[in-house]
Chains A and B, each alone.
Chain A
């Protein structure tokens, strides 16, 4: 089955700087890669997703890149703001298998 690895597990960046979170997956048949943001005690919220026929997708300050050959995809957050502090999960495949998550801290 699919196995998703995510790193780093914790990331601290200065407000205004960029944050990058990386994930790798094992199943070459996976064709859907969503990213979720989860705040404490709440449900995961989809923030951006990408499909295997696209290499990059951008939505305002958030972008995702996908390298199918290397089987890795990344989340990029630019101009980080305090409200970006949360746990971020990558996932792969139609039966969404989550990475272990990255706790992002935005430092004032």
Chain B
């Protein structure tokens, strides 16, 4: 099946710093990628939809100036958590949809665990 990678797998940072997370589709072109956040023992909450070459679409309640998303190529989307605070500590997961196939299947990355001290 299709492979999606994320980097880094975990990161610890100080409050006030910015953290960039990369999401890559390794063997297919992803015109659309999605960013989710998951707090312990909770479901995945969709943060935004990232479309290659255009601005991301954010879900209600998600601050677009705090969570910057860039989808500059068909295989890479990045999420930057700006001025991170302890409440931003979470498990961030991306997913990618195969733009070439006729399927709605989304392939998930392994996730990035962010801890803000």
User: Residues of A at under 8 Å CB distance from B?
Assistant: 32, 34, 36, 41-46, 49, 51, 89, 94-101
Contact = CB atoms under 8 A, between A and B. Distances in A.
Contacts of B108: 36, 43-45
18 contacts: A34-B105, A41-B111, A42-B111, A43-B109, A43-B111, A44-B93, A51-B104, A89-B44, A94-B97, A95-B46, A95-B49, A96-B46, A96-B106, A98-B43, A98-B44, A98-B46, A100-B43, A101-B42
B95 interface: yes
Give the secondary structure class of B's interface: strand
Size category of the B interface is: 20 to 34
A51 B103 CA distance: 10
B42 A100 contact: yes
A94 B109 contact: no
Contacts of A99: 43
A43 B93 CA distance: 8
Q: Which of B36, B93, B108, B110 counts the most A-chain CB atoms under 10 A from its CB? A: B108
B44 A44 contact: yes
Q: Which of B44, B45, B91, B110 has the most CB of A within 10 A?
A: B44
A42 B91 CA distance: 10
Contacts of B43: 89, 98-101
A95 B17 CA distance: 30
B110 A42 contact: yes
B51 to A, nearest CB: 11
Nearest to B97: A94
A32 B57 CA distance: 20
B67 interface: no
Contacts of B109: 43
Contacts of A49: 105
Given A41-B111, A43-B93, 20 more contacts: A34-B104, A34-B105, A41-B91, A42-B110, A43-B108, A43-B110, A44-B93, A44-B108, A45-B108, A49-B105, A51-B104, A89-B44, A96-B34, A96-B95, A98-B36, A98-B43, A98-B44, A98-B46, A100-B42, A101-B42
